Amino acid sequence: MEGGGAAGAGGRDQASSPAQRRESRRLPDFLQSVNLKYVKLGYHYLITHLLTLLLIPLMVVILLEAAQTDPNDLRQLWLHLQYNLVSVLVCSAFLVFGTTVYIMTGPRPVYLVDYACYRPPPNLRVPFPRFMKHSQLCGEFNESALEFQRRILERSGLGQETYLPSALHYLPPRPSMASAREEAEEVMFGALDALFRNTGVKPKDIGILVVNCSLFNPTPSLSAMIVNRYKFRGNIKSFNLGGMGCSAGVISIDLARDLLQIHRSTYAVVVSTENITQNWYFGNRKSMLIPNCLFRVGAAAMLLSNRSADRWRAKYKLVHVVRTHRGADDRAFRCVYQEQDDAGKVGVSLSKDLMAIAGEALKINITTLGPLVLPISEQLLFFATLVAKKLFNGKVKPYIPDFKLAFEHFCIHAGGRAVIDELEKNLQLRPDHVEASRMTLHRFGNTSSSSIWYELAYTEAKGRMRKGHRVWQIAFGSGFKCNSAVWQALCNVKPSPDGPWEDCIHRYPVEIVDGFPPQPPHEQ
């Protein structure tokens, strides 16, 4: 989906005017910035801790009164309780019963024990020159289509080490059903092998399996392929989600969470991937060529648990999932659309309205998510601005809540450079907040629904995840959907063995530049 966003990326670095250069040489107005900064921080602290601040005087008064109480009064109170022992026992029984019922019927916590991302072998890498050479030699694209793909690659934010499936490395390409199955098995089994190896969980212990892949849905299903490979037990609850786009990973997590509320003491495995082999577009319609330039091989497998014993070894706890679906709107429904072009060739078409539609979906999603995660101070500021805007006929500038107060880490789906740029701008994030997304796009490309897990792995590989930190995963997908998942770290999280960044994290972050980067020695 988000490949369309990257089409608008690049070409932004214009020569600055003399006035801008003069402005850049000036020191900032520290008096204004510092005052405003601390006024806001103070307001945030006051409102967030208002209840505590009110309770402190009350506790002081209670302690003073208790200190002045006569010992005879305390003795009389004790005797009174002894004579009313039955009432005390009944009240205690009701309290214990109510607490037990609440614990038994309340939502069960869901833990992310661990996850694994597939790292393809080096022979599947596709540097820009190789990509363009294959596109030219396959004979399917005219000169205009080739030039368009070259320009998209230059502005995409992708690096030289992204991967395409083996079938597309042949000349001519071999997009057969057998090759597509081979790609699916390689990425899914690769991620699952690492997951089971790192967690020590046996496949027979898995009670729930959810697999999502939008564009490749064979018979038997992908979930059945996994059951067959790992010999899962016969009563496993398995689900296969198709056609739900890049946000399907969060949908799968939500489905697994709901199932874990019903089935006690259970492990759930979620597999998120996309299949490229049979979905490569061999035509010349430009709106359908963008996915060729951005989508790359990838997969992630997650192990979820509702067992209390897993609380102590799990990496994260699932806090919230918020899903937004704009499918009732025709424009949103058709903005990412699989269809045939005039020559009868199938591909996924990306609308020019894609970014605007994504913005509308994001607005709805964060409006729902905000009250769940933002501190009271931000909610009051947002509400006050909204009321003022209504009273003054829209002359008041809208207030954008500061989500940096709610989250330490952001995993924005690496769908395209423009998507990351726009979210950084509109959510007022710093460059370090979107570093994981930019570097994932550079190293692995758009791996669809699994990209948010490569981003989380990047944050862990950098050693930045600390106990109590909150993570916001946000993804967009066809339909049109915007989905969010919020996690909280249960420990100082270290990267798992054989992680996707293990061989290259020392080289990141890198500077993202437009154009074809120089080839490494082994590619020349």
Q: Which of 44, 325, 433, 469 is flagged as catalytic? A: 325
Going by the DSSP 8-state scheme, the letter that residue 278 receives in this structure is G
For the CA atoms of 87, 93, 98, 99, the dihedral, rounded to the nearest 10 degrees, stands at 120
381/4 Cα distance (integer angstroms): 34
> Which listed residue (44, 413, 433, 469) is catalytic?
413
Q: Which two tokens stand for residue 4?
A: 């369309």
Torsion of the alpha carbons at 410, 415, 418 and 423, rounded to the nearest 10: -30
Rounded Cα distance, 200 and 387, in Å: 54
Instruction: Decide if 134 is catalytic.
Output: no
Please spell the DSSP secondary structure of 87-137, one letter per residue: HHHHHHHHHHHHHHHHHHHSPPP-EEEEEEE----GGGB--HHHHHHHHHH
Query: Does 446 participate in catalysis according to the annotation?
Result: yes
Q: Cβ–Cβ contacts within 10 Å for residue 348, how many?
A: 23
Name the catalytic one among 212, 213, 240, 246: 246
Distance CA 397, CA 386 (A): 9
Q: From the candidates 279, 293, 335, 442, give the one annotated as an active-site residue.
A: 442
Instruction: Give which of 152, 126, 102, 491 is closest to 314, Cα–Cα.
Output: 491
Residue 442 a catalytic site member? yes
To 10 degrees, the CA torsion angle through 211, 215, 221, 227? -40
- Residues whose CB is less than 8 angstroms from the CB of residue 133 and which lie 6 or more positions away in sequence, other chains included: none
Helix axes 30-48 and 376-391, enclosed angle (nearest 10): 110
Among residues 212, 240, 275, 446, the one annotated as catalytic is: 446
Say if CB 438 and CB 157 are below 8 A apart.
yes
Catalytic residue among 212, 293, 409, 433: 409
Pairing of strands 267-273, 470-477: unpaired
Residues ≥6 apart with Cβ < 8 Å to 143: none
3-state secondary structure of 446: strand
Q: Which residue has the tokens 């009732």?
A: 328
Active site residues: 246, 325, 409, 413, 442, 446
